[in-house]
A and B are shown apart, each in its own frame.
Chain A
């Protein structure tokens, strides 16, 4: 059963770059599917950040596009998120997920999420 696990610093200073990695277990990231990042500020709703395909093709939320970079490392079966010039508004739980073509692009499964706080 495929599992996803986010990892990275829980605290990032304002103006710096947030970096997170999602490790995929029991499924090869090269076997297809889009791999996504989603975030949720404390007490608020879900915001899609972006998606990456195994080939490295990327698609970003227009509201974050200028600050987001996603990449994939097939040798480690991981994909990553970088968000530059962070502010307190980027404080959120960050989730990674797999988007399934056979389920209308829905996200399943999700990682457990990791809280990233932006503060000096």
Chain B
């Protein structure tokens, strides 16, 4: 099984800050890495697919990069609505998949 490890587990930042979240796979997954945002009481929403492709309707302040085993999600200028929990997901072994443990982004 492919294990996904996110860091940090939690992060405090201010509006306007640039933030980076990292996701590491236990083996190479090429570009089969997706990022989701989840707000309390809501279902996750797709932000980035294929490591760097912005899902339709997602603001351009979100970006993703990486390939192989190391990936990053960057928020260029935090907005109040960005405070949420973020998950990475590998779909290299699709239809099987696995998620990272999540990164909670909180307001400083």
A106 to B101, CA, bound (A): 17
Name the residue of chain B whose CB is nearest to the CB of A101.
Answer: B94
The answer to whether residues A105 and B95 also contact, given A110-B45, A112-B43 and a CB cut-off of 8 A, is yes
Q: Which of B12-57 contact A (CB under 8 A)?
A: 31-34, 36, 42-46, 49-50, 53, 55
Name the residue of chain A whose CB is nearest to the CB of B44.
Answer: A110
Tally the A-B contacts, defined by beta carbons under 8 Å: 76
- B20 CB → nearest A CB, Å: 20
B89 at the interface (CB under 8 A from A): yes
Contact A46 B102 (CB under 8 A): yes
Specify which chain B residues have a CB less than 8 angstroms from the CB of A59 in the assembled complex: 95-96
B99 at the interface (CB under 8 A from A): yes
- B31 CB → nearest A CB, Å: 7
The answer to whether residues A104 and B43 also contact, given A45-B87, A51-B95, A53-B95 and a CB cut-off of 8 A, is no
A79 at the interface (CB under 8 A from B): no
The answer to whether residues A104 and B95 also contact, given A45-B101, A46-B102 and a CB cut-off of 8 A, is no
A34 to B36, CA, bound (A): 18
Contact B102 A104 (CB under 8 A): no
